Amino acid sequence: DTTAALLEELEDIIEDIDFAHIFVKFGGTKCLMQTAKEKEGSGLSEANRATCLSIIGSLSQNNITVQDILVKDGIIPVLMAFRVQVGSSSSSSSSGITRSSDKIWSKALYALGSIVKNHAAAEVLFLQHYAVDAFSNLGDANVLSNAVKRRCVYLALFLVGQDVSRVASLINLFIPA
């Protein structure tokens, strides 16, 4: 698949921090987000859409310059839009969740985590406005995939590690009432 090969090439290129900065500065992440938002019938595979989100995560991981640009561009709410919606699709599993959306949401969580980690303003923004939605349905055994649950736990552990006073607010999101 040509698209997959091009995305793989892009991943190799952006490993260089200078190329990552240039790619983001000139709007490359907007193109990746647009591609990731494509509908299933567009001819773009779910794997390629997920790879676009994964590349955004790779770009921003431990890269404060890229994180700053993405936060200022408002990417956190855009990534949150990939959140799996219970019962949102006719091609859902018996639990009411679309597994293809689950894979996309897992990669979006990876990107979110990469943007939020070690960026104080992004951490606060995420915790104040998006954590409840991002971590919802984790207590329901059949609602989300293990990949999504692992990403949520990993992100929450990081956030707690940054400030243990967050335990009280985050623990309620992980333990069903």
Q: What pLDDT, on the 0 to 100 scale, is given for residue 117?
A: 95
Walking along the chain (177 residues) 10 residues at a time, the average pLDDT comes out as 93 93 95 90 88 96 95 96 61 47 92 96 95 80 79 92 88 75
Tell me which DSSP letter residue 125 carries. Answer: H
Closest C-alpha to 116, from 107, 108, 125: 125
Q: What pLDDT, on the 0 to 100 scale, is given for residue 53?
A: 97
Q: What pLDDT, on the 0 to 100 scale, is given for residue 69?
A: 96
Contacts by 29-38 with C-beta closer than 8 Å and gap 24+?
A: 29/56, 29/59, 29/70, 29/73, 29/75, 30/73, 32/56, 33/75, 33/78, 36/82, 36/104, 36/108
Q: 3-class DSSP state for residue 60?
A: helix
- Residue 85 near residue 101, CB atoms below 8 Å: yes
Q: What residues contact 51, with CB distance under 8 A and at least 6 apart?
A: 4, 7, 8, 11, 107
As a whole number of angstroms, the distance between CA 172 and CA 177 comes to 8
Closest C-alpha to 177, from 140, 150, 134, 144: 140
Q: What pLDDT, on the 0 to 100 scale, is given for residue 177?
A: 61
Q: What is the pTM of this model?
A: 0.87
